[in-house]
Structure 1
Amino acid sequence: MRGDPIHGAPPPPPPRRRGSLLERAVERYGFQPGAGLRPMGPAPARQPDAAEPPPPPVPARAPQPIDRARLAERGMLVPGGPVSALAEEFRLVKRQLLLAAREGDAARSRSVLVCSAQPDEGKTFCSVNLALSLAAERDLEVLLVDADFAKPDVPDTLGISSGPGLLDALADPTIDVEGCIIPTDVPNLSVLPAGARSDNDTELLASDRAHALLQRLERANPRRLMVFDSAPVLAASTAAALAEHVGQVLVVVRADRTSESDLREAVALLDGCDTVQLLLNAVSLQPRGRRFGSYYEAEEEA
């Protein structure tokens, strides 16, 4: 008779249960028991997702003085000067831009591209004056970016020295763009030079690095508003590339020069930005016509 099924052959041993995480770590990495879990061999490699230390702060640079006499000779706004018709006109312009900045995306709408359809229509004149007017605001820090890479005129207009700038930071990942910014003696106004001229400036501006770098500039300081002085739209392709990175575009239209066909073509090329506004420049006014500035002059004569 076969054995009693109750007292028959013993059942197979249960499957071996794997040890705890700690036990498996001891077996795998050779930890020495009782030694504070120090590995007996070399230390394991650092995990790739470990947090990197923040970059060192950019050393503070001494502010460069703006050449106020040069600005006055060119008929531009002079920081600290008396209120003039030109000052009032740019006050109106900046109010519209600031309103759009508050209503739009918190970061991107604080980037304004100033350009024109053709050369010699006053876009640098307008971008510098706009930046000077914006710097008078109590709650802003204005960064004027020289983005006319073929003819960078912003440092010369302000009478400051240039240096490494935007193109250098785009071409070389080891260059910190914040370290290229030049503070001025005008409160709340700094300048980012164009940098060394490059044959592939448009490709650099269209790169993922440009997108990340410009976003970093936008978000580094919630009080910062950036004004880009760009090349004429129909003379260089950089303005169209920059339009994809900004929240507002201001096209300078010279009353006695810009043709309607040029203006339409330029605006069509700036379709990377949803907000495009026009600024009429070089308008001739009647000597006795209504004009900003006469109110203040009358007050002084009274």
Structure 2
Amino acid sequence: MDSIKQAVELARAAEVVHRPGVLSGSALAANGPLQRSAESPINEVRLRADHLEANRIVAYGTSGPNGRYYDMLRTQVLQEMDKKSWQFLAVTSPTAGCGKTVTACNLALSISRLPERSVLLVDLDLRRPAVGNYLGIDGNGGVLDVLEGRTPLSSAVLQASIGPNNMLVLPGSVSSNSSEWMASQTMGALLQTIKRDFRSRIVIFDLPPMLLGDDVISILPRMDAALLVAGVGSTTVSDIKECQRHLRRTTVVRVVVNKSTEAAGSYYGYY
């Protein structure tokens, strides 16, 4: 937890004082939307560089000066995950506005540029899904349609391409019962299917903010590791300490501190 302790110190130094029924898996098994291979024909979407850059998504290429920071984060995260043969990485933040979705999208795109790596980005923020908006992907279908049995996983997953690189994306959907879905057997079945059908890929899950409900702590036991994104100006010392309490049984591979090096012209710093 050294990285969390360093984030606590950074937040203290910045003197931030303001911060703005378990469902059964039987229906899933009966309808069988997750039994089809997700590596078969996948719908492709082309990402636009101008849209990505307007939304601070910069790690799709090697020419931008800010992309190198995400490449450094990518290398360190993959090194930690490879040591244990981990596949599932949860990305969360203490509260809203810390930049977790920007970090998840940039990290996924950075990994997609590695010739011997592949990645699946899953939007599991059922309270406020944003991956599709940041990437410029239509919000049709999504993870909730898969959970409710309306769409097979193989149809909901998209191949997002830009230049010679591509990654897979499972867009998000809004649910008024996000906590129940996170703890459900159906969600467990979905994650097991993703693990099986995408076993050669790193899977990044963009989760809701940790302190806004029990969604994250419900699903953390099903994740291999976590990446915590804090924000200078929006994350307090008490926020980080509360997250540390919930993350005691989860390996935190890195803590990203957004805008901590803003004066140097980069999007974030990390510890």
Structure 2 length-normalised TM: 0.76
Structure 2 counterparts to residues 16-165 of structure 1, below 5 A = 60-77=41-58, 79-80=60-61, 82-84=63-65, 86-104=66-84, 106=85, 109-165=86-142
State the AA in 2 paired with 1:269: H
Q: Distance in 1 between matches of 2:45 and 2:120?
A: 14
- What do the CA deviations read for 1:202-238 (whole angstroms, capped 9, x no partner)? 2222123322321221222332111111111111322
Report the CA distance between 1:81 and its aligned residue: 5.1
Q: Between the two structures, name the one with larger relative contact order (CA 8 Å, sep ≥ 6).
A: 2
Residues 260-289 of structure 1: CA deviation (Å, up to 9, x unaligned): 1111112322345234531111013555x9
Give runs of aligned pairs for residues 152-231 of structure 1, distance below 5 A.
Answer: 152-172=129-149, 175-186=151-162, 187-195=165-173, 197-231=174-208
- Letter of the aligned partner of 1:97 in structure 2? V
- From the superposition, tell whether residues 273 and 212 of structure 1 become closer, same or farther in structure 2 (CA, over 3 Å): farther
Shift of 1:112: 1.0
Cα distance per residue 1:83-102 (max 9 Å; x no partner): 41x21211111112111221
TM-score, normalised relative to structure 1:
0.69
1:17 is aligned to none
In structure 2, how many angstroms separate the alpha carbons of the residues matched to 1:239 and 1:56?
Answer: 28
Describe the SS at the equivalent of 2:53.
helix
Q: Deviations over 1:24-47 (max 9, x none)?
A: xxxxxxxxxxxxxxxxxxxxxxxx
Q: How many residues align?
A: 231
SS where residue 255 of structure 2 aligns?
strand
- How many Å apart are 1:126 and its aligned residue? 0.8
Task: State yes or no: 1:253 paired with 2:230.
Answer: yes
Q: Distance in 2 between matches of 1:269 and 1:237?
A: 10
User: Is the 2:143–2:171 Cα contact (8 Å) retained in structure 1?
Assistant: yes
Residues in 1 aligned to 2:232 and 2:241: alpha-carbon distance in whole angstroms: 15
1:281 matched to 2:258? The reply is yes
Contact 1:117 1:233 in 2 (8 A): yes
Query: Counterparts of 1:219 and 1:272 in 2: how far apart (Å)?
Result: 24
User: Relative to structure 1, is the Cα distance of residues 57 and 252 closer, same or farther in structure 2, using a 3 angstrom cutoff?
Assistant: closer
Residue segments in structure 2 that go unaligned for 5+ positions in a row: 1-33
Closer, same or farther: CA 129–55 of 1 in aligned 2, 3 Å: closer
Distance in 2 (CA, whole Å) between partners of 1:223 and 1:147 is 20
- Indicate the residue corresponding to 1:244 in structure 2: 221
Report which of the two has the higher share of helix: 2
Residues in 1 aligned to 2:227 and 2:37: alpha-carbon distance in whole angstroms: 33
Unpaired runs of at least 5, structure 1? 1-53, 293-302
Change (3 A) 1:254 1:210: same
Aligned partner of residue 257 in structure 2, secondary structure: strand
Looking at structure 2, the residues matched to 175 and 272 of structure 1 have their Cα atoms a distance apart, in angstroms, of 34
How far 1:57 sits from its partner (Å)?
Answer: 5.2
- Cα 1:95–1:158 change in 2 (3 A) is same
Q: Structure 1 CA distance, aligned partners of 2:185 and 2:221?
A: 12
Which runs of structure 1 show a deviation greater than 6 angstroms over 4 or more consecutive aligned residues?
Answer: none
